Amino acid sequence: MKSKIKIGILTLSASDNCGSLLQSFALQEYIKNEFNADVKIINLVTKQSNELYSLLPSKFYRHPKKLLFGLKYYIPNKKQRNDYAKYRKEKLLLTSKVYQNKNDLEQLDSDYAFDIIITGSDQIWNINMPDFSDCFFLPIKTKARKIAYAASLGGMKNIPKNLLTEVKEWINDYKMISVREPSGLAPLIPLTNKQIPILCDPTMLFSHKYWLQIAGEKKINCSYIFFYSWAYSDIAMNKIVEKFAYEKKLPVYVINSSKWYKYRPQKFNFILYSTSGPDTFLNLMAHAKYVFVQSFHGVVFANLLRKRFFFLNEQTDQVDFRAWNLLKQLHEESQIIHNYLDISKTSNTNLNYQSKELNELIFRSKEYLKLAISGSKDNG
């Protein structure tokens, strides 16, 4: 009997972020089921991620107000941290060994002998990211075939000069490279002769029906609004949601107590749900009557779960490029809300939740993975 191909995934699995963990899960599950592979997510926990998601990070000790917040809300924030840890433990196929740095990664061949290591997706190649580590470029020599799937470079327009030589060497050690956003092409094209296709986020490899089933039965026994933001820090946007809820006579549920540093949700009559993490995010999103989002994965799942949604954007002259790219593909630019009047302009818009462009993107993404894992061709 032929043994299964062994595939390692290197991604933002240590992040206490719903989008990061859901895309980790999606890539894991798609590869495991589609290719009958033995899949493990490399349990990379760097000092950068430990600091970023610490309940009392070192920077708090330099800012008394933040330290007081951390101490005052230590218990709910600890509960939130545990919710994310529980998701990782129950849903992600993490390696039993924890890797912290490049030297640790050097042991991957002897530890697991992967046939292929896939880096991606999310913002793994965003050097400006607070929890970035050069480990995400897999800067080691390995017998495994290196593949980059839909790697995002965030808002980076150029690779920093001091890292150009290293990044060029690292990416040219890959058999195949792909990015998630068109903006990711400009920094990489000068460094390699490899073709670099644009592919979809791993979560989009699965259907509406799949994610609805994963979301589970409704937890809140009434009609409600779900508001999901990367930080909930914009007062004007919070007030838009508050006013909409008042007019619709519906409660607003939010998650992630640690994100409410400056203002508690009660200030806007929002209800902080009792749990956080990807499972809660999916469930509250799936069963909400209306959804307000302020993040890329918020837009992704509002579409995957077929919701009447609004994308809050505090800036009138530009939109988050990651979300904008997806909204444009879906012809949903009208869902961008800068002020309360914009809601009335878009409230009657028919949302199709799919488009020819998006369907073609998903098809290309699946074909890329098929080619990458079959190993029949190098795109360099």
- Stretch (H or E) spanning 303: helix 296-304
Record the tokens describing residue 8, joined without a space: 């390692």
Taking residues 165-181, what's their average pLDDT?
Answer: 97
Q: What is the four-CA torsion angle of 50, 56, 61, 62, rounded to 10 degrees? A: 60
Asked if 35 and 3 touch (Cβ cutoff 8 Å), the reply is no
CA dihedral of residues 246, 247, 250, 256 (deg, nearest 10): -50
pLDDT the model gives residue 261: 77
**Residue pair 24/277 in contact by the 8 Å Cβ criterion:** no
Mean pLDDT of the chain: 93
Q: Domain 6-205+360-374 belongs to what architecture?
A: 3-Layer(aba) Sandwich (3.40)
Nearest Cα to Cα of residue 202 among 32, 375, 379: 32
Query: Residue 93 in contact with residue 28, Cβ under 8 Å?
Result: yes
Tokens 């001091």 label which residue?
162
When mean pLDDT is compared across 53-62, 82-91, 143-152, the lowest value belongs to: 53-62
- pLDDT band per the 50, 70, 90 thresholds, residue 379: very low
Q: Is the pLDDT of residue 58 over 90?
A: no
Sign, CA dihedral 292-295-296-300, equals negative
pLDDT grade, residue 378 (50/70/90)?
very low
Q: What is the CATH class of 210-307+309-346?
A: alpha beta
pTM, 2 dp: 0.94
From residue 110, alpha-carbon distances to 104, 143, 159, 170 in Å are 11, 10, 32, 21
The pLDDT tens digits for 226-267 are 999 988 989 999 999 999 999 999 999 999 999 887 788 999
Is residue 377 pLDDT above 50, yes or no? Answer: no
pLDDT of residue 68: 77
> pLDDT tens, 69-89?
778 888 989 999 999 999 999
Residue spans per domain, the chain: 6-205+360-374, 210-307+309-346
**Residue type (1 letter), 38:** D
